[in-house]
Amino acid sequence: MIAAPADSAKRANAPDGPGDTGEEPAEAVHSVPVTSLLSADSPRLTGEDRDHTLRLVEADRAMPPILVQRSTMRVIDGMHRLRAAILRGDETIPIVYFDGDADEAFVRAVEENVAHGLPLSRADRRAAAARIMASHPQLSDRAIAARTGLSAKSVAGIRRSSATVPQSNGRLGADGRIRPLNSAEGRLTAARAMEQRPDAPLREIARAAGVSLSTAHDVRRRLLRKENPVPDRYAAPPPRRRTGADGPRAVGGTGRAERKRPHGADGPRDHGAILQTLMKDPSLRHTGAGRRLLLLLRARVIAPGDWADLYDCVPPHCREAVAELARHCATDWHRLADELDRR
């Protein structure tokens, strides 16, 4: 983010102090001729908005410095401010330099325009997301969503529908960590690295394989026990079986392995009855964490007949947000189920 002009100017013009390194502050403000700047590679599909420029001219007040790519002197963020300065007859304009290539500059332009100023349209943001995932295929859907002001679901839809997006074996999340798209592949990569470099630190192995440190620990434990570094839950799910008139037969799976069922039950489960049994279990009822778990389960066990009411109660403008939260909750519950299966 660009700091306020006054604060930036103070940093740029502050006298040298005991801790001064002689390096230019990252957000130092410079004054350059308006004629020295090139037009932006704008994320706006329709270009600049002249009415917005005229409003800035009429406001006749100091504006924040614009962001400029140092190597090319191309505007990254602030074309409306530059046009307003030219219309006012200003010869110079305050700028902050950005050091990075053209693809990085475009990402920064989108981030700045999403955060402030004249908002980008939804079409602008979707086009920007497609361009960013083409230039940065390793970025996760959530990381791109955070930069473009879209939902992760929308970004995922754009990724699926775009034939020009290069494929990547991993995703760089908003937290800066790279995670493999295929957990099994990441574990196998870590296992190979451990066999080739048995004395290498686990943290280094995890970073190279794109897995978490805890996953690297688990892989090492499995190798020491002469086990497969990839747990069964990461293997391809077996085909489901269905009983028909001619007996059991295999049908295509849904992409997720069937969960374990207690007591070897094969028929449909009465989840309400399961919940009631759990609610009576003293090992859960008599601990704080156990009671919290029971409350969460009770709030989320929904009778089949209640789903229709839930579908109908969500207005159209809330559907995307509700769906995103539902998927987030589902992911968390699947993670809990996988951990319980593993134990």
What is the per-residue DSSP string for 264-322?
G--S---HHHHHHHHHT-HHHHTSHHHHHHHHHHHHH---GGGHHHHHHHS-GGGHHHH
Query: Does an H or E element contain 123, and which?
Result: helix 122-135
Residues 278, 298: Cα–Cα separation, whole Å: 10
Q: Are 297 and 333 in contact (CB under 8 A)?
A: no
Phi-psi region of 4 (alpha: psi -120 to 50; beta: other; left: phi over 0): beta
Q: What confidence score (pLDDT) does residue 11 get?
A: 35
Q: Which tokens hold the place of 29?
A: 């403000």
How high is the pLDDT of residue 95?
95
Residue pLDDT, tens place only, 117-161: 788 999 999 999 999 988 887 788 888 898 899 998 888 888 877
DSSP string for 71-86: TTTEEEE-HHHHHHHH
pLDDT for 256: 43
Q: What does the DSSP 8-state code read for residue 61?
A: S
Task: For 237-255, write each residue's pLDDT tens digit.
Answer: 544 454 444 444 444 444 4
Distance, in Å, from the CA atom of 281 to the CA atom of 298, rounded to the nearest integer, reads 14
User: What is the model's pLDDT at position 92?
Assistant: 95
Identify the CATH class of 5-14+22-169. Answer: alpha beta
Per DSSP (E only), the strands in 78-232 are 92-98, 170-172, 178-180
SS3 content of the chain, % helix, strand, coil (to 5): 55, 10, 35
Please state whether beta strands 178-180 and 247-251 pair in parallel, antiparallel, or not at all (unpaired). unpaired
What residues in the chain have per-residue pLDDT under 50? 1-22, 167-169, 238-240, 242-268
Domain boundaries, the chain: 5-14+22-169, 182-234
> What is the pLDDT at residue 306?
60
Instruction: Tell me how far apart the alpha carbons of residues 48 and 66 are, in angstroms, rounded to a whole number.
Output: 15
Say how far apart CA 87 and CA 110 lie, in whole Å.
25
User: Which segments of the chain are extended strands (E)?
Assistant: 29-33, 66-69, 74-77, 92-98, 170-172, 178-180, 240-244, 247-251
Tell me what pLDDT residue 21 has. 44
